[in-house]
C-alpha cells in the first residue's frame, strides 16, 4: 500500500501514538519509529515529513536519547515537540538549560501569526491555551531560527528555520488541551510537508483487499474470530478478498460474557462465510485451574487458542495462513521496530514461539481503533459490531481476580449483565466508552436476612476516553449506582458488597489485570 508518509521518531514520549493518530486524522499516513532507527532507513522511506516526540530526559545529558544531526540537513520538513524541540535546538547549536520554574498544564501562549506553521492553522488566534510539560527550556536560540511563540515564563515556546524547513514547539499540539492543536499539525503535514491527504479508509480497503488476494492466492486462510471489533472487521476484509477460501473459527473458551457466545454465532450466521464455533470451555478452565497470576493466565489462554486453531485447521486441511486482528497500538506497545517478534506473539496473550502455519496475516496491524471502526463502516458492517465495546482477548479471565472457577465466572456474568443492562436503561451506553464488572478476590462481612454473610466484593468500572491510552472516570449518578448495587446484591448469589473504581488512566489501567 503506497501512501505519502510522515514519520514520528519516538524519544520516549507518552503521547507517541496520539501524535500519529492526529496526523492520520489530517488524512496523512503516519508511522511511529524508535529514535534508534538508522538514518539510512529514514532515507529509504523517503518521508514527506518527520516529527520528533517529547520525552522524559534532558537533551544535554550524555545518556539521553539523541539522533544523527544529519537528519536536520536532509531537506525534509521536521517538527520537534517538547523534548523534540529541545533536541532540535541542541543539535543546531542552541542552548537548553534547566528552568527555574517548571511549566506544566494549561498555559497561555502567544503566537506570531506570520509564522508559516501558525498562519496555516485554521481558527488559531494570536494567543491561546497550550498544554505544557517541561522542566528544561531553550535558553539560546540556534543560528538561523526565529522565535514564533512565547509564554510568560518560556521565551521560546516555538521556533522555526524556514530555509531548512525546521519547526519546533515546546508545547503538545497533539493533546485536546491545546487549543487548535490538530490544526497546527494539519498546517505542518498538509501545508509545509505538502501532503495531499491520500489516507482514507476507502483507499485502505481497496489496497488491503488487493494485497490479501495477492498474498493468499488460491490457498486457504483461518481467522481467529472473537466477535470483537477488530476480528469482525478483519473477517469482513478477508471475506471480500478471498471469499470461501476463508474459514472463521470462533473459540468459545467459556470466558465470554452472558449469552455472548450465542450472540456472536447469530451475528455471523448470515454472512455466507465458513463459520465454525468450537466449544472449548472445559479445555480452557482445565488449563487455568489453580492459576492466579494475570500474565500466566494470558499466556495459557494465548497458547490454548492457537492449539485449538491448529486442530481445527487440520480438520479443514491445507490451511497456510492464520489471520489475526492485531492493531497498531498493539504493535507499538510490543516494541517499536520489532515486527518479527510481534508476529510470533499475540497482541493480547502471546502466541507460543512455534506456530504451525506458513504465515500470520494481520490486515489491521497499521490501524488505530478509530480507523478500524471507520473501515468497518466502509465494509458495510452493522453498528452493533462496529461500535461494540472493547473486550479483552482473555475475556473474563482477567476480570476474575485470582483463581478462576466456573462458579466465579457465573457470578461475574450475572453481575456484569445487570450492570450493563442498567447502564443501557439509563441511556448512558453510547456516552460511556467502556464499562464492566470485576469480581475481586476479596471477601467481606455483610448482613442479609438478619444473618451474617461472608461473600465477594464486586468492583464496577466505567470510563470515558477518546483513544484508550488515557481515560477518565465516568461520573455515574449515585441513584444509578444505588439501583445497580441493590439489584446485584439481591439477584446474584455470593456478592454482598459493591465498590466503584474512581481511578483514572494513568495511573491505573482500564482493565484490572
Bridge partners of residue 323, in order along the sequence: 223, 361
Residues of the chain with pLDDT > 70: what percent? Answer: 94
Residues annotated as part of the active site: 82, 172, 174
Bridge partners of residue 451, in order along the sequence: 448
32-58 confidence digits (pLDDT tens): 999 999 999 999 999 999 999 999 899
Question: Is the pLDDT score of 493 beyond 50?
Answer: yes
- The pLDDT score that the predictor gives to residue 270 is 73
**Three cell numbers at 59?**
537533551
- The pLDDT score that the predictor gives to residue 44 is 95
Domains along the chain with CATH numbers: 5-192 (3.40.50.880), 201-386 (3.40.50.620), 405-500 (3.30.300.10)
What is the biggest distance separating any 2 CA atoms in the chain, rounded to whole angstroms?
A: 81
Packing angle between helix 201-216 and helix 369-378, nearest 10 degrees? 80
**Burial tier of 69 (Cβ tally within 10 Å: 0-12, 13-18, 19+):** middle
Task: Tell me the pLDDT band of 356, cut-offs 50, 70 and 90.
Answer: low
User: Cα(17)–Cα(53) distance, rounded to whole angstroms?
Assistant: 10
User: Cα(132)–Cα(267) distance, rounded to whole angstroms?
Assistant: 46
- The pLDDT score that the predictor gives to residue 340 is 31
- The pLDDT score that the predictor gives to residue 234 is 94
Element containing residue 232 per DSSP (H, E): helix 229-242
406-457 confidence digits (pLDDT tens): 999 999 999 999 999 999 999 999 899 899 999 999 999 988 776 788 899 9
Question: Is the pLDDT score of 161 beyond 60?
Answer: yes
What pTM was estimated for this model as a whole? 0.73
Q: What is the mean pLDDT of the chain?
A: 89
Report in angstroms the alpha-carbon separations of 290 from 128, 300, 395, 405: 56, 12, 17, 9
80-124 confidence digits (pLDDT tens): 999 999 999 999 999 999 877 666 778 999 999 999 999 989 999
- The pLDDT score that the predictor gives to residue 337 is 40
11-27 confidence digits (pLDDT tens): 988 788 889 999 999 99
Q: What's the distance, Cα to Cα, between the start and end of the chain in Å?
A: 36
Question: Is the pLDDT score of 458 beyond 70?
Answer: yes
242-275 confidence digits (pLDDT tens): 998 999 989 999 999 999 888 888 877 777 788 9
296-345 confidence digits (pLDDT tens): 999 999 889 888 877 887 888 778 898 888 888 777 766 554 333 322 23
- The pLDDT score that the predictor gives to residue 370 is 86
- The torsion region of residue 427 among left (phi > 0), alpha (psi -120 to 50) and beta comes to left
- The pLDDT score that the predictor gives to residue 347 is 40
- The pLDDT score that the predictor gives to residue 446 is 87
23-59 per-residue burial string, b: 16 or more CB within 10 A, e: under 16: bbbbbbbbbbbbbebeeeebeeeebbbbbbbbbebbb
User: Cα(32)–Cα(47) distance, rounded to whole angstroms?
Assistant: 12
- The pLDDT score that the predictor gives to residue 327 is 87
Amino acid at each position: 500500500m503506497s501512501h505519502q508518509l510522515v514519520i514520528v521518531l519516538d524519544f520516549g514520549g507518552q503521547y507517541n501514538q496520539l501524535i500519529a493518530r492526529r496526523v492520520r486524522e489530517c488524512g496523512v499516513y503516519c508511522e511511529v519509529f524508535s529514535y534508534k532507527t538508522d538514518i539510512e532507513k529514514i532515507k529509504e522511506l523517503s518521508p514527506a515529513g518527520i516529527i520528533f516526540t517529547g520525552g522524559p530526559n534532558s537533551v544535554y545529558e550524555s545518556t539521553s536519547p539523541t539522533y544523527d544531526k544529519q537528519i536536520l540537513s536532509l531537506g525534509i520538513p521536521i517538527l520537534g515537540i517538547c523534548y523534540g524541540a529541545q533536541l532540535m535546538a541542541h543539535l543546531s547549536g542552541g542552548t537548553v538549560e534547566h528552568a527555574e520554574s517548571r511549566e506544566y498544564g494549561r498555559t497561555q501562549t502567544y503566537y506570531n501569526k506570520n509564522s508559516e506553521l501558525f498562519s496555516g492553522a485554521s481558527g488559531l488566534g494570536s494567543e491561546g491555551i497550550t498544554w505544557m510539560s517541561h522542566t528544561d527550556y531553550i535558553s539560546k536560540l540556534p543560528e538561523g531560527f526565529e522565535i514564533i511563540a512565547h509564554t510568560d515564563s518560556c521565551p521560546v515556546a516555538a521556533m522555526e528555520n524556514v530555509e531548512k524547513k525546521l519547526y519546533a514547539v515546546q508545547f503538545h499540539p497533539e493533546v485536546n488541551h491545546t487549543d487548535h492543536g490538530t490544526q497546527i499539525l494539519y498546517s505542518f503535514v498538509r501545508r509545509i510537508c505538502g501532503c495531499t491527504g491520500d489516507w482514507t479508509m476507502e483507499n485502505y480497503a481497496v489496497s488491503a483487499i488487493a494485497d490479501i488476494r495477492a498474498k493468499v492466492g488460491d490457498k486457504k486462510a483461518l481467522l481467529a474470530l472473537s466477535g470483537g471489533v477488530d476480528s469482525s472487521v478483519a473477517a469482513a476484509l478477508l471475506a471480500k478478498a478471498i471469499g470461501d477460501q476463508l474459514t472463521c473459527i470462533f473459540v468459545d473458551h467459556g470466558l465470554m460474557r452472558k449469552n455472548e457466545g450465542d450472540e456472536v454465532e447469530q451475528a455471523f450466521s448470515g454472512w455466507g462465510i465458513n463459520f465454525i464455533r468450537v466449544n472449548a470451555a472445559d479445555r480452557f478452565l482445565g488449563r487455568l485451574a489453580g492459576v492466579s497470576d494475570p500474565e500466566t493466565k494470558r499466556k495459557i489462554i494465548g497458547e490454548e487458542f492457537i492449539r485449538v486453531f491448529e486442530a481445527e485447521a487440520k480438520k479443514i486441511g491445507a490451511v497456510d495462513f492464520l489471520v489475526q486482528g492485531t492493531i497498531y497500538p498493539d504493535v507499538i506497545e510490543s516494541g517499536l521496530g520489532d515486527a518479527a517478534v510481534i508476529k510470533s506473539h499475540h497482541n493480547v496473550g502471546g502466541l507460543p514461539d512455534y506456530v504451525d502455519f506458513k504465515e500470520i496475516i494481520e490486515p489491521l496491524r497499521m490501524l488505530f481503533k478509530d480507523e478500524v471502526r471507520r473501515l468497518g463502516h466502509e465494509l458495510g458492517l452493522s453498528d452493533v459490531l462496529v461500535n461494540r465495546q472493547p473486550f479483552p482477548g482473555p475475556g473474563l479471565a482477567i476480570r476474575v481476580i485470582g483463581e478462576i472457577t466456573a462458579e466465579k465466572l457465573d457470578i461475574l456474568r450475572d453481575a456484569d449483565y445487570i450492570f450493563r443492562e442498567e447502564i443501557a436503561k439509563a441511556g448512558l451506553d453510547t456516552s460511556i466508552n467502556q464499562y464492566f464488572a470485576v469480581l475481586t478476590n476479596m471477601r467481606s462481612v455483610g448482613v442479609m436476612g438478619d444473618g451474617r454473610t461472608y461473600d465477594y466484593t464486586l468492583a464496577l468500572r466505567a470510563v470515558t476516553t477518546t483513544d484508550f491510552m488515557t481515560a477518565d472516570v465516568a461520573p455515574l449518578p449515585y441513584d444509578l449506582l444505588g439501583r445497580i448495587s441493590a439489584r446485584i446484591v439481591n439477584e446474584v448469589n455470593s456478592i454482598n458488597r459493591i465498590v466503584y473504581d474512581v481511578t483514572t488512566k494513568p495511573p491505573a489501567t482500564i482493565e484490572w489485570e
